[in-house]
Structure 1
Amino acid sequence: MVGAGIFALLGAAGEVAGSAVWLSFLIAGVIAMLQGYSFAKLGARYPSAGGLLEYVAKGFGLGHATGITAWLTYIANAIVTAMVAVSFGNYASAMVADGDTAWSKVFAALIIVVMTAVNIVGSRLVARAQTVIVYVVLGILSVFAVVLLVNMTPSLLAFSGYPSVRQIVSSVALTFFAFLGFGIITFTAKDLPDPRRQLPRAMFLALGIATVIYMAIALGVFGTLSVDKVISSGGTALAVAAEPHLGRAGYWMMSVTALFATAGATNAGLYPAAGLSERLVDTGMFPPVMARKVKGVTSGLLVEAAACLVLAVCFKLDAIASIGSAVALLIFVLITAAHFRVRSETGANTWVLALAIATAGVVLVTFVLTTLIHEAASMWTLLAILVLSAGLEFGWRRPSAEQ
């Protein structure tokens, strides 16, 4: 979770929230904490390779509602993973090919292929790779945040320059994208020795660290560069912000850190595909082909990787982010709504669950009505994803039921 979103989305979030992006990250962090509370309670009670989808099934049963949510989750995860792979490609291209778009696509495709291979080797290698990446990214981002905060110009963050509350709330859908990795934590429950104790601790520690770092970096970047400069820098805004204070070496250091962060997020994004597919085939929500082994590799992982490749090569970065955020928020609302029906088994607080649904719902509706509705391509793609998920669910289940 830590790193990929902050590298990829500062420019896009700045277009909506201006220099108030730090506030957008704070709100997104609070919403993620509320959802994280729900997920941690569910994960501690129902540890499974099915992760988030296991929770929906517990609340709504194995009917079409859960099946549609399963396909939505699978597709949304492909979008999110493609998004960070594109960000990796942008940084790699900026470093070695002067930002050439064609090379950006090549590098994005390459990181997806490499991380698919890592996941094929097994979860132990995934964990070891993630550990190294996280330590490197956390260390460098922390130093970078301190340097920026010490050297920032407070007037650039003046409240008088902030946009309307509605725009700030709308931007939360984008900054929330930077937290989406916390959902993947639930898929690790099956690998934890004591998920009831470890999962909640991992969830809240990860979200707390991410929120603090994201806010500090947003304050530092927008307190150092003008909003227009951040927007024009796009996906390389952090590296541009580092250069005035740390020189060319700083630019390269942040670029390398971005490569680590986005590579790690691509790795983590592909991680749930195999276990999720196998679990959903077992419960009858995915067709058997998704759990079929191709030379020992679950086909669900290969399908996910192929979808990521198509998205990374064919879509623009900001379009992927908008669609991914909207779908993810919808999924999280559905999961926590399902939690309501089993809250007596998990021991979750009713009011916290209600607040989690309300806050995510408000952000989703505001984002759609304020931002997404003006992006025709993104809006149509979002509708297409919803129709595709429903089509996949009803399309393959109906024949099987008749048989």
Structure 2
Amino acid sequence: MTRLPHRLERYREAAMTTTYLSVRQAAFIGVGSMVGAGIFALLGAAGEVAGAAVWLSFLIAGAVAALQGYSFARLGARYPSAGGLLEYVAKGFGDGHVTGVTAWLTYTANAIVTAMVAVSFGSYASDMFSGGSAGWAKFFAAFVIVAMTVVNVVGSTLVARAQTVIVYVVLGILVLFAVVTLTNMTPDLLAPSGYPPVRDIVSSVALTFFAFLGFGIITFTAKDLAQPSRQLPRAMFLALAIATVIYVAIAVGVFGTLTVGEVISSGGTALAVAAEPSLGTAGYWLMSITAIFATAGATNAGLYPAAGLSDRLAATGQFPPVMARTTGRASNGLLIQAAICLALALLFKLTAIASIGSAVALLIFILVTAAHFRVRADTGASVVMLILAVATAGVVLVTFVLTDLIHAPASMVTLLGVILVSIGLDVAWKRRRVYPASR
């Protein structure tokens, strides 16, 4: 009688084992979230600040992301939860105002990032179909946000599977593009004598860091790894290494093919323009079509967490219950985020959206690692590594604000507005929630 339960237990364990993700699978989830939309959207904007030294900016951004990745990997290994980054903040600071403000900032930052890739979609679609008209670029940006909101409401499994295939196709084409441009580039265009001051290069890291924001999604795979304490850090660093190599290679290839002025003037379509000298018109269209698929998929992925995030935060008391309710079949959390994305895409320039999004993300990552200090005894993280993670993110954020954002009053005011609104929403909601209960 004792052998049957033992066998059943072994079969149960074997079945569970087959559902685990490998290190490669977990890493590729992060790679798929990082590589694609960011590199299509950012080169022109980053070139305005860092010139031909954008490749250095990507390298520094990768190092900063790796330090954050160390912190996140330790937290994810200790607290494998569907709550992701907000779960870590709650573990460190409890369910008070710090966690609440971070939750609203995360919700807003996700909307900003999604709007950014939608604007990039608009740039490529307008260039392909209407000769680069600014009005049509806005129209296409709004169109992809609305279309992907509908897709998220419907919840098509086929679209999710197709998006996985698209990620592999995008990666393959980007590698081909990097190889072709590197073998045909003009090294003089990358001469250090033409680089801007170091502070400008550091300042541009806030823009290029935008392209690494997707690495945080790897923390959500911890619950699906057989040994998260060992596998999650490997997956995190493997994904960041792949993304950094691709970004640096593409930046060198683009700025080694085009002048800084040409990259800036081409805006969000810089990769397509850089492909044309080596691959001809076919190369231009290949990169443009790839960009449209990548940015449409990234817009879909950016909107996807809104419903689940709103549900979880409403359940824990961080968001009002209305955020978890539905209008018809659509989550209110999703609809509100889509509305914010539309407003950002229609009212702000691509560079401004990237600036605000990266600044907010850096602030969130600093808060997550600050929370990590309070639970370090549980995670076993190195104090030195955590200090470096906070310090590097802080230096990039402060340098960016003082050298670039301060000269863009609209973006500066919007950034401060996002922070103040997040604080106001948390305070107002928690007062409304607490005071009636105390009467």
Q: Indicate whether the TM-score tops 0.5.
A: yes
Deviation at residue 120 of structure 1 after TM alignment: 3.1
Name the CA shift for 1:124/1:41 in 2 (closer, same or farther; >3 Å): farther
Contact 1:38 1:339 in 2 (8 A): yes
Contact 1:43 1:195 in 2 (8 A): no
CA RMSD of aligned residues (A): 1.7
Cα distance per residue 1:33-73 (max 9 Å; x no partner): 11112112222222333211111111111111111111011
Contact 2:39 2:247 in 1 (8 A): yes
Q: Which residue of 2 aligns with 1:385?
A: 418
Q: Which residue of 2 aligns with 1:339?
A: 372
CA distance in 2, matches of 1:202, 1:123: 28
Is residue 2:408 matched to residue 1:375?
Answer: yes
- Aligned partner of 1:274 among 307, 332, 338: 307
Q: Which residue of 2 aligns with 1:325?
A: 358
Cα distance per residue 1:215-257 (max 9 Å; x no partner): 0010011111111111111111111111111111110001011
Is residue 2:256 matched to residue 1:223?
Answer: yes
Cα distance per residue 1:61-101 (max 9 Å; x no partner): 11111111110111111001000001001101100111112
The amino acid of 2:430's aligned partner reads R
Deviation at residue 206 of structure 1 after TM alignment: 2.1
Q: Which residue of 2 aligns with 1:307?
A: 340
The amino acid of 1:71's aligned partner reads W
- Aligned partner of 2:121 among 83, 88, 95: 88
- Aligned partner of 2:398 among 337, 341, 365: 365
The amino acid of 1:51's aligned partner reads G
Contact 2:44 2:264 in 1 (8 A): yes
SS of 1:220's equivalent in the other structure is helix
CA distance in 2, matches of 1:329, 1:126: 31
Q: Which residue of 2 aligns with 1:131?
A: 164
CA distance in 1, matches of 2:130, 2:221: 37
Cα distance per residue 1:244-296 (max 9 Å; x no partner): 11111110001011112212221221122122111111211111111113334
Is residue 2:184 matched to residue 1:151?
Answer: yes
Share of identical aligned residues, percent? Answer: 76
Contact 2:88 2:372 in 1 (8 A): yes
Q: Which residue of 1 aligns with 2:211?
A: 178
Question: Which protein has the larger Cα radius of gyration, Structure 1 or Structure 2?
Answer: 2
Q: How does 1:9-20 map to 2 (within 5 A)?
A: 9-20=42-53
Q: How does 1:2-401 map to 2 (within 5 A)?
A: 2-122=35-155, 127-187=160-220, 192=224, 194=226, 196=228, 199-401=232-434
Contact 1:187 1:272 in 2 (8 A): no
Name the CA shift for 1:88/1:26 in 2 (closer, same or farther; >3 Å): same
Deviation at residue 4 of structure 1 after TM alignment: 1.2
SS of 1:180's equivalent in the other structure is helix
Give the total of aligned pairs. 402
Contact 1:78 1:308 in 2 (8 A): yes
CA distance in 2, matches of 1:373, 1:224: 32
Cα distance per residue 1:286-331 (max 9 Å; x no partner): 1111111333443212211121112112211111011111111111
Cα distance per residue 1:124-170 (max 9 Å; x no partner): 55642331121011000000000000011111111111111111100
The amino acid of 1:13's aligned partner reads A
Contact 1:51 1:189 in 2 (8 A): no
Between 322-331 and 122-131, the greater mean CA deviation after superposition: 122-131
Structure 2 residues not aligned, in runs of 5+: 1-33
CA distance in 2, matches of 1:297, 1:185: 27
Contact 2:311 2:324 in 1 (8 A): yes
CA distance in 2, matches of 1:339, 1:238: 38
Contact 1:120 1:297 in 2 (8 A): yes
Structure 1 residues not aligned, in runs of 5+: none
SS of 1:21's equivalent in the other structure is helix
Contact 1:11 1:233 in 2 (8 A): yes
Between 194-203 and 30-39, the greater mean CA deviation after superposition: 194-203
CA distance in 2, matches of 1:121, 1:55: 31
CA distance in 1, matches of 2:92, 2:144: 36
CA distance in 1, matches of 2:156, 2:63: 30
CA distance in 2, matches of 1:33, 1:106: 37
Q: What TM-score, normalized by structure 1, do the two folds share?
A: 0.95
SS of 1:163's equivalent in the other structure is coil
Contact 2:53 2:195 in 1 (8 A): yes
Between 120-129 and 97-106, the greater mean CA deviation after superposition: 120-129
Q: Which residue of 1 aligns with 2:5?
A: none
CA distance in 1, matches of 2:294, 2:179: 19
Name the CA shift for 1:291/1:49 in 2 (closer, same or farther; >3 Å): farther
Name the CA shift for 1:344/1:120 in 2 (closer, same or farther; >3 Å): farther
Name the CA shift for 1:127/1:182 in 2 (closer, same or farther; >3 Å): farther
Between 373-382 and 284-293, the greater mean CA deviation after superposition: 284-293
Between 148-157 and 196-205, the greater mean CA deviation after superposition: 196-205
The amino acid of 2:377's aligned partner reads S
CA distance in 2, matches of 1:47, 1:300: 24
CA distance in 2, matches of 1:162, 1:67: 42
SS of 2:375's equivalent in the other structure is helix
Contact 1:49 1:279 in 2 (8 A): no
